[in-house]
A and B are shown apart, each in its own frame.
Chain A
């Protein structure tokens, strides 16, 4: 398997879990990135600053990792820019309709055994598999 790094992945997963649990336990907030971002784009009184601070932390974390472990960013995207933009647009719509994304539903919701998050995660991961199979093997778009 290409790029299989179970130790780093386990450490990364633990770090994501600790961040989500810590934010929920100490601040009572769900670490759902799309929801946090959405709240910044449509600011409400006394509910925007913590979101902006969390997003700043995300950027800082990415910069720190770029410095400490640049291999994490050694990515090569085979699809066109327009496909990436279209994909991001569809993800944005989907996360708004589903009221959460892979972090809010997948990490936090499933971790809390929330039924709607389990259903949401099963649906979007399932359709991600089907979409990937379709565009790469049936239609051979990418």
Chain B
């Protein structure tokens, strides 16, 4: 189970990073590319 916990955490970290980095995109049609 520790392996799955790490996989889950990676997903959380990935999405959180995506949300923060998406802030750079223009407001008018912001869509993350990933």
Within 8 A of B (CB), among A79-118: 79, 101-103, 106-107
* Chain B CB within 10 Å, residue with most, of A49, A72, A128: A72
Q: Given A23-B7, A53-B8, A58-B12, are A73 and B18 also a contact pair (CB < 8 Å)?
A: no
Q: List 15 A-B contacts (CB under 8 A).
A: A4-B24, A9-B23, A11-B17, A16-B13, A16-B17, A18-B17, A22-B9, A23-B6, A26-B3, A57-B12, A57-B13, A58-B12, A61-B12, A65-B16, A102-B34
User: Is the contact region of chain B dominated by helix, strand, or loop, or is it mixed?
Assistant: helix
State the 7 A-B residue pairs at the shortest beta-carbon distance, nearest first: A57-B11, A61-B15, A15-B17, A12-B21, A12-B20, A16-B17, A61-B12
User: Is the contact region of chain A dominated by helix, strand, or loop, or is it mixed?
Assistant: helix
Cross-interface CB contact of B8 among A16, A57, A77, A106, cutoff 8 Å: A57
* Chain A nearest CB, measured from B30 CB (Å): 4
Residues of A in contact with B (beta carbons under 8 Å apart): 2-6, 8-9, 11-20, 22-23, 26-27, 29, 31, 33, 49-50, 53-62, 64-66, 69, 71-79, 101-103, 106-107, 128, 142
Q: Is the CB of A72 within 8 A of B23?
A: yes
Measured CB to CB, the nearest residue on chain A to B4 is A53
Q: Given A53-B8, A53-B11, are A65 and B34 also a contact pair (CB < 8 Å)?
A: no
Cross-interface CB contact of B15 among A13, A50, A62, cutoff 8 Å: A62
Cross-interface CB contact of B21 among A16, A31, A76, cutoff 8 Å: A16
* Chain A nearest CB, measured from B22 CB (Å): 6
